[in-house]
A and B are shown apart, each in its own frame.
Chain A
């Protein structure tokens, strides 16, 4: 990654963090606990599967996706109510089968379905929002071994942003944890 002088004039190279690879879910689970104990704040685990209990081990709070689901669901329910009231009772009242123009009972399936529809959209887009996706560029993609984290490798990355980050200390710390192929990840900016 160390560019020659001719490249340096065009390409800037910013250090993003240091990565260490682990071979099993058990190894990364234990290592993550130690990284947290050490007091690091800006770090992340990259794993091919969601590992049971890793959130708590890393000190993550409960996900906030349910808030988006609830907001979506409530919006959906009242949207359903509003359209039925507006269309069948306010804008164009029409007598059908002697039934009332509006009632919360007969069009309940409509509210019900719209509750689920909007809640599902809230869930999906809430997940995207909380994960800050879509984002097609990220420094970890520069890592040559990154692809394996979707396959069978487990990776911890401690970022430069972290107040405790120190080039040598962090590197040796990751090595002590049993991390294989400890690598510096650099972000290239054209």
Chain B
């Protein structure tokens, strides 16, 4: 049986080499106690609703109503109210869909991949990022759902028996996408919810009001902090992380198949899956910064989301932004090296053709802008980091716009060329999804624990039963 007093022997080589002590910045600053963490996180949920919250909530609801109105108009009139035309049949619907799905990916990366890589700093940002994932996927789902036109038949996408006795066609990447996105939404919600159970139990045990006791009581499933519970919970958490990792990589891979399996120039490339995944993580981390920096400032979470966290997020943004930049240049190289005239034209057209402006917005926001994160001074300037994160979001939206529209509007035959512009309904519907997202995120901040308390506590020094000797 192991006892704490047992000393762990150091390898003999260390005495010879004498490595310099590595100073790791603490993950929770100011030597906070467990109780402080509980009070801080539960306090956000338990305190009176702040006035700013109501203002934001009402504003977000008003913005969300744009999506509502856009969709009501679309359903009652027809999908022609969008700017989609022939040849640009996909238009903003696919752009917005891929944009929102991509944003979700950072949440899963933080909760799953960084968990497997034992990146302890993930703990304080993981819950809010997972919430972001779930809400972003909900926003994404709106677009393909309504793009089908007769939305009341959307259930035909799923393998359910219908009166026409026909089934989905599994050779189509669009059908794979149905499975990928619905699995992604479901597993993200499961993972998010399961991680929340111990924290919901903490709020349940502190609850004074009856509604709170019932609400958090039912949600926490009777969790009772027993070690036997933790044992199965930790194993389940690890397994869900292990399942979400291939899932998140597959989702954007399959989203990229929507394009790559088609024969169109500019789409039919093998680089698409990794390039889409890198882009998704890039845009997601941009959104994490956009959301968490204000949350940190408003709730005073500087001890939990430290400069180290911001540094790390910025560095991941820089890395994935550079990968995306590499992919852009590699696409051009292959278009030239592949010696396919259509492919070559598609890329020249992207940079200098009818949508040249969107291409250069994309490059400046995605490739040039994140390079600023090389500099420590910039990473430490929180308002500037926030502004750059907005540019990342804009850039990634334009990336999808460039991919979808330049190719569709200029395919093989000049006789089938066209030009696409969004209608006001397109713009309203997309604009409204930001409100919809904010409504959900504000409700999350108000009613659910925005940080996993148990996980944050377990990376604090007090959590170590071996006194740092293990």
Q: Which A positions have Cβ atoms within 8 angstroms of B? A: 24-26, 28-30, 33, 36-37, 44-58, 60, 62-66, 69, 83-84, 87-88, 91-92, 94, 96-97, 99, 106-107, 109-110, 112-114, 116-117, 119-121, 123-124, 126-128, 130-131, 133-138, 140-141, 146-147, 149-152
Contacts and interface: CB of A to CB of B under 8 A. Distances in A.
Interface in B194-230: 194, 198, 201-202, 205-206, 217-218, 221-230
Contact of A124 (B206, B240, B246): B240
A53 B194 contact: no
Contact of A135 (B222, B236, B239): B222
Given A47-B230, A56-B2, A116-B250, 4 more contacts: A33-B2, A53-B466, A113-B176, A121-B190
Contacts of A96: 169, 171-172
A120 B186 contact: yes
B165 A92 contact: yes
Interface stretch (B76-84, B99-107, B145-153, B455-463): B455-463
Interface string B230-255: 11111110011001101100100010
A131 B170 contact: no
The residue among B191, B232, B246 with the most chain A CB atoms within 10 A of its own CB is B232
B381 interface: no
26 contacts: A25-B462, A26-B465, A29-B4, A29-B465, A36-B1, A47-B230, A48-B34, A48-B225, A49-B454, A50-B234, A51-B230, A52-B464, A52-B466, A66-B235, A88-B170, A92-B167, A110-B175, A110-B176, A112-B250, A113-B250, A117-B186, A123-B239, A134-B222, A137-B222, A140-B226, A151-B34
B191 A88 contact: no
A187 to B, nearest CB: 14
B54 to A, nearest CB: 29
B376 interface: no
Nearest to A89: B170
Contacts of B338: none
B38 interface: yes
A96 to B, nearest CB: 5
B465 A53 contact: yes
Given A50-B233, A151-B35, A107 B250 contact: no
Nearest to A59: B1
B205 A146 contact: yes
A60 B227 CA distance: 9
Given A25-B464, A53-B465, A109-B180, A33 B240 contact: no
B6 to A, nearest CB: 11
Contacts of A130: 232
Nearest to B257: A109
B168 interface: yes
A37 B3 CA distance: 12
B454 A50 contact: yes
Q: Is the interface of A mostly helix, strand, loop or mixed?
A: helix
A81 to B, nearest CB: 11
Contacts of B254: 109, 113
The residue among A45, A58, A109, A112 with the most chain B CB atoms within 10 A of its own CB is A109
A90 to B, nearest CB: 10
A127 B233 contact: yes
Contacts of A134: 221-222
Given A51-B227, A54-B465, A56-B2, A136 B243 contact: no
Bin chain B's interface residue count.
35 or more
A30 B465 CA distance: 8
Contact of B236 (A62, A127, A151): A127
Contact of B187 (A29, A45, A117, A147): A117
Interface in B100-138: none
B179 interface: yes
A43 to B, nearest CB: 10
A182 B187 CA distance: 42
Contacts of B167: 87-88, 91-92
B33 interface: yes
B17 interface: no
Contacts of A94: 169
B170 A106 contact: yes
B159 interface: yes
B221 A49 contact: no
Contacts of B257: 109
Nearest to B251: A113
Contacts of B246: 112, 116
A131 B231 CA distance: 9
B4 A30 contact: yes
Q: Which 5 A-B pairs have the closest CB atoms?
A: A29-B465, A87-B167, A147-B205, A152-B34, A63-B235
B180 A113 contact: yes
A144 B132 CA distance: 37
Contacts of A137: 222
The residue among A37, A117, A120 with the most chain B CB atoms within 10 A of its own CB is A120
A137 B170 CA distance: 47
Contacts of B171: 88, 96-97, 99, 106-107
Given A92-B166, A127-B194, A109 B176 contact: yes
